[in-house]
Amino acid sequence: MSTKNKKAAGGNGVAPKQTRQQSHDSQDYSSFKTVLFYCMLIVFLPVLTFFVLKGFVLDQFLDISEVKVNIASAVGAVVALHIALGLYIYRAYFGAPGSKGSKTD
């Protein structure tokens, strides 16, 4: 909504201003997509890992007790969570394409 307003405000200006605005919008969109992807990964991966591991471990190794299955799934979920968090921090620190030099004014 705010981008639309900005575009409308910049529409009667000169052409380079508009293209810069568009490039800002596309950068914002790509960084939003990245952040959304990693946040979804961090939120849903551990939950998914917990229940998949619980079902899978219960299916495969029926000889171990219920408590151990729960512990294994919990530890697996936390490990998966930290892997996802590490990926996000790595991406934010090293990758972050489009976040460099975009401060134009």
Partner 1 sequence: MSSEVSSDNPIYGPFFGVMGAASAIIFSALGAAYGTAKSGTGIAAMSVMRPELIMKSIIPVVMAGIIAIYGLVVAVLIAGALEEPSKYSLYRGFIHLGAGLAVGFSGLAAGFAIGIVGDAGVRGTAQQPRLFVGMILILIFAEVLGLYGLIVAIYLYTK
Site for partner 1 in 55-84 (CB under 8 A): 67, 70-71, 74-75, 77-78, 81
Q: Is 27 in the site for partner 1 (CB under 8 A)?
A: yes
Which letter does DSSP use for residue 92 in this model? Answer: I
Q: Is 39 in the site for partner 1 (CB under 8 A)?
A: yes
Q: Is 31 in the site for partner 1 (CB under 8 A)?
A: yes
Residue 19 structure tokens? 């293209």
CA neighbor of 58 nearest in space, from 73, 78, 37, 38: 73
Q: Is 34 in the site for partner 1 (CB under 8 A)?
A: yes
Question: Considering the complex, what minimum distance in angstroms separates the CB of residue 2 from partner 1?
Answer: 12
CA neighbor of 40 nearest in space, from 75, 77, 84: 84
CA neighbor of 46 nearest in space, from 77, 70, 74, 75: 77
The binder of partner 1 chosen from 7, 28, 40, 61 (CB under 8 A): 28
